[in-house]
Amino acid sequence: MNGFLQALLLQAGYNTALVTVGAAILGASAGAIGSFVLLRKRALVSDAISHATLPGLALAFIIMAGLSGDGRWLPGLMIGAGISAGLGLLVVDWLTARTRLAEDAAIGAVLSVFFGAGVVLMTVIQTLQTGRQAGLSGYLLGSTAGMLRSEAQIIAIAAAVTGLAIFLLRRPFTLVCFDAEYAAVRGINVRATDLAMMGLLMAVTVIGLKVAGLVLIVALTIIPPVAARFWTDRPGRMVVIAAMIGAVAAWLGAVVSSLDRGLPTGSLIVLFSFALFVVSMLLSPRRGLLAGIAHRLRFQGLVHERQGLIALARAEPIYDSQTLRRLKARGWIRPDGVATLKGRAAAAAAQRDEARWSLYRNLHPEAAAGSPSQGIRPLAEVLPPDLIADLDRRLGAGSDFHEVRI
């Protein structure tokens, strides 16, 4: 526990702190660009890009091993992975534009072919007698153990630059995600914006190879935005929340992986991302499961109260035990089922509101269909006072509320 707290508070050494901070910046950038990709409904593209990096990574290793005897130079590997990922992205775009293949089919083809070629090249690398191929498998699932200070600095700086680019392009990204035609009218080059979005996604993928691995980096661009969607409807806030979730997950994953050299960083980051997703899914006050259950229970309670009050106003018998419990809990009926003075007043108000609601549906059917009241909440909580006064005027003071004058 002491070691975990030291690593968590960046007190476990300069190199560990640098790796942790770099991973957090990467997670924030991945969450931010992933939000735009998700809103653009192109989340599967990140999967194709990540798997398409493998053959470029392996070829770069082979070339550098043949030239210098050491193929693990991080900038060279990132360049090779970037070229391969860019080629895969272009192939997907070409197949989608020039053939009848849907984008998901093109992504599946590119993903499988590129990844298969990469696996073959990785097998070839294992037969080499040079190149120091030990540790190259860490690029599959991510491993920060033994990362050089220079490598950690490269990752942190590259992730920060990518995050800055995402921030600067946030407005055109948002417009294109929600209304590409309107964005074009505003003078935004939609295709160039899409390419910039995919380019930044590719940059995040390449930068995160050493931290999260090419197999799992896609999760860091999808899970945080999906989790953020539970908390807000606004795209700007969604991007910020996704960046925070990605940063926290990457931070915790890097911290825990630093405690033992055998722990894969990418897997831990994905697990922490999923844990934050589960928390969001359960506890979000907007779309969380618990909030949904509480809303349904409140709605059911309001239905029982409304039906019970209407029955009291019409002197009808009440047989439902839950309705009786609700009325007793509110003090509207006595234990023997007889209405109290408070209950009679509430029943009269409910009957009048029922008449208002019936008249409102006749006068304004379209607005009534989308009303949050739906005959359950008092109409005065939904409509402005002048409209309520007009409904009361039409009903007529003291008239029979079952007879509506229009």
CA–CA separation, 206 and 30 (whole Å):
11
**Same domain as 305, residue 279:** no
Q: Are the beta carbons of 27 and 246 closer than 8 angstroms? A: yes
- Tokens for 217, please give them: 């980096």
Closest CA to 105 of 150, 157, 48: 48
3-class state of residue 288 by DSSP:
coil
Q: What is the pLDDT of residues 8-27, one digit of tens each?
A: 777 777 777 888 888 899 99
pLDDT digits (tens, 9 = 90+) for 138-185: 677 777 666 777 878 888 898 999 999 999 999 999 999 988 888 898
DSSP bridge partners of 131: 70
Residues 251 and 358 in one domain: no
402 domain-assigned: no
Q: Which two tokens stand for residue 303?
A: 């239905």
* Final residue of a structural domain among 266, 285, 304: 285
Is residue 128 over pLDDT 80?
A: no
The number of folded domains in the chain is 2
Answer yes or no: are the C-beta atoms of 10 and 22 closer than 8 Å: no
Residue 53 belongs to domain with CATH number: 1.10.3470.10
Quote the percentage of the chain above a pLDDT of 70.
91
Torsion of CA 307, 312, 315, 321, to 10 degrees: 60
pLDDT at 400 over 80: no
Compute the distance between CA of residue 273 and CA of residue 176 in angstroms, rounded to an integer: 27
Domain range spanning residue 325?
290-395
Backbone angles phi, psi at 131, to 5 degrees: 100, -10
Q: Tokens in use for 57?
A: 């990574």
Return the percentage of the chain with pLDDT > 90, whole number. Answer: 25
Q: What is the pLDDT of residue 404?
A: 36
| CA distance linking residue 227 with residue 245, whole number of Å | 8
Phi, psi (rounded to 5 degrees) for 339: -70, 140
pLDDT at 132 over 70: no
DSSP-derived letter for residue 211 is T
Q: In this predicted structure, what is the pLDDT of residue 401?
A: 45
Mean pLDDT to the nearest integer, 51-55: 89
One domain, residues 181 and 297 = no
Q: Do 48 and 129 have their domain in common?
A: yes
Clarify whether residues 256 and 326 are in a common domain: no
Q: How far is CA 167 from the centre of its chain?
A: 18
Tokens of residue 158, six digits = 């590259």
Supply the pLDDT for residue 375: 64
If asked whether residues 257 and 315 sit together in one domain, one would say no
Q: Tens of pLDDT along 353-392?
A: 888 888 888 888 877 776 665 667 777 777 888 888 888 8
Same domain, 267 and 366: no
> Are both 156 and 210 inside the same structural domain?
yes
Query: Are 112 and 209 within one domain?
Result: yes
User: Is pLDDT at 35 greater than 90 in this prediction?
Assistant: yes
